Amino acid sequence: MRYAHEVGKVRAAEQALMARLPEGALMQRAAAGLASVCAGLLPAVYGARVVLLVGGGDNGGDALYAGARLARRGARVEAVRAGARIHAGGLAALLGAGGRLRDDGDEGADAIAAADLIIDGLTGIGGFGGLREPHATLAARASRALGTVVACDVPSGVDAGTGRVAGAAVQADVTVTFGTHKPGLLIDPGASYCGVVELVDIGLGPELPDPDVVAPRAADVRPPEPGPESDKYRRGVVGILAGGEEFTGAAVLCAGGALRGGAGMVRFASVRHPVELVRRNWPEAVTTVIEPGDGAALAKVGRVQSWVIGPGLGTAQAAESLLEAVLGTELPVLVDADGLTVLARRRDLLRRAAPTVLTPHAGELSRLVGASREAIEASRLEHVRGAAAELPATVLLKGSTTLVAEQDRPVRVNPTGTPRLAAAGTGDVLSGLIGALLAGGMPALDAAAAGAYLHGLAARLASAGPYVDGEPWHGEAPITAADVVAALPEAFRSVAGAGAG
């Protein structure tokens, strides 16, 4: 796992550690780590042209001290000052090592354009809102430069606590962060400005509380594995209520996600036409034809260990009757798509003891909690936490960075998302996949986070073309939801291999 802590907690941990260390020792630790990463990015330190973009805060000091270390190894280091304030000790160290100070005018612009490596120390983790001048202009120049851009702790212009970007921001190739990750490094749009994130240990570990946000790695994703005594019932039976006369594809895709997601059995129920299509595409599924809205007919479906309801179901009274019946059980339930629209007018149905997983995009969450879509997109972390507490449920908020929240637990951030998932039906696949993990016995938060990880990984695998004219192809191909279903077994193999390693 990658662990991230809110800015206030990082500040408190830094203060507690500094109280036990000699003055300036913590900054020197950060500078040493920053300089080491930067040296590794250069073909040779001696003679390299390094430019420091320096604001008046501690990150500016980190950059100056790191620059001094590189200058002592023969790099030609120039600091471009943003504003009147500058860290006096760091500047003295740089100048003493042979570095130079530039203003932010034409000389500074020329130095940035000619640099082999640029260290962004304009703002720190306490920065929020848009960058002001001259910081905004310097950030833009660095982002356009040909040299490698290394952000100090967090790219300037990115809100370290939320990932919000309001205006100009530094587009880094590498971000060197200190002590712990910050949420904004893991959540888009901020995450997209970070490049590769390198964590430098400066000794904060004992001072830090439990994390606020975590991002799983492949080895952390542990879907249920069948054992020697497994049968289809022990592996998990998922019941799916999806599709209608108007929307039939959702039913097929949801069933496919569940079957490829490891379910021992899928019991699918709907009106006749979706049932026929599911039977045709997935003969493994056990199907039941029910009348529209006949909640009492669920008893005919047979024993299941989790329910998935909503994709393509419609939003009329018939769908509401089925949702009420399913949420009235004592089984884990995942609600998606049309089911969420119905739930927005029947939030009373969430008063249940069994686990409930909701998988909205921002528009669906806006109907559930009464906030605007724009407000949710602007503060995704805040709203997913609030929704998990208010509803209450395990809430998976879809988006460029999918977030999974449960009350009083660290928010899970999915790192495998890809824009290729912005295609019709991919959400239906995710619903079936998570439903299978729930049926297999995974707790709701783990099932939702693992499902998001595997879903994103499958999309990446499906979109990566293997060869073009006999050579490896490094781009991505358009994919459909069916491609994601087909790639799920490979995604499962990938995380199993990572866990074994």
Q: Residue 467 pLDDT > 60, yes or no?
A: no
321 annotated as ligand-binding:
no
120 annotated as ligand-binding:
yes
Nearest to 334, CA basis, from 317, 365, 297, 309: 309
Q: Residue 47 pLDDT > 80, yes or no?
A: yes
Q: Which residues of 350-368 are buried (b: 16+ CB within 10 A; e: fewer)?
A: beeeebbbbbbbbebbbeb
Confidence of residue 323 (pLDDT cuts 50, 70, 90): very high
Mean pLDDT, rounded, for 430-447? 98
195 annotated as ligand-binding:
no
153 annotated as ligand-binding:
yes
Mean pLDDT, rounded, for 79-100? 95
Q: Residue 117 pLDDT > 90, yes or no?
A: yes
C-alpha dihedral over 283, 447, 339, 456, to 10 degrees?
Answer: -80
CB 236 within 8 A of CB 243: no
CATH number of 219-500: 3.40.1190.20
Condensed to tens digits (0 to 9), the pLDDT of residues 137-149 reads 999 999 999 999 9
Q: Residue 171 pLDDT > 90, yes or no?
A: yes
| Percent of the chain whose pLDDT exceeds 70 | 97
47 annotated as ligand-binding:
no
Q: What is the pTM of this model?
A: 0.92
Q: Residue 468 pLDDT > 50, yes or no?
A: no
243 annotated as ligand-binding:
no
268 annotated as ligand-binding:
no
250 annotated as ligand-binding:
yes
180 annotated as ligand-binding:
no
156 annotated as ligand-binding:
yes
124 annotated as ligand-binding:
yes
Partners of 199 in the β-ladder = 177
58 annotated as ligand-binding:
yes
Q: According to the model, what pLDDT value does residue 500 have?
A: 60
Q: According to the model, what pLDDT value does residue 465 have?
A: 60
399 annotated as ligand-binding:
yes
Mean pLDDT of the chain: 94
Lowest mean pLDDT among 99-113, 322-336, 479-493: 99-113
Q: Residue 158 pLDDT > 90, yes or no?
A: yes
Tokens linked to 467:
């060869």
- Does residue 230 sit in helix, strand or coil? coil
CATH of 2-215, one of 1.10.240.10, 3.40.50.10260, 3.40.50.11690, 3.90.960.10: 3.40.50.10260
Q: According to the model, what pLDDT value does residue 475 have?
A: 66
What residues contact residue 413 under an 8 Å CB cut-off, 6+ apart?
4, 183, 186, 187, 213, 214, 215, 401, 402, 403, 404
Condensed to tens digits (0 to 9), the pLDDT of residues 393-408 reads 999 999 989 999 999 9
Q: According to the model, what pLDDT value does residue 469 have?
A: 53
Q: What residue ranges do the domains of the chain occupy?
A: 2-215, 219-500
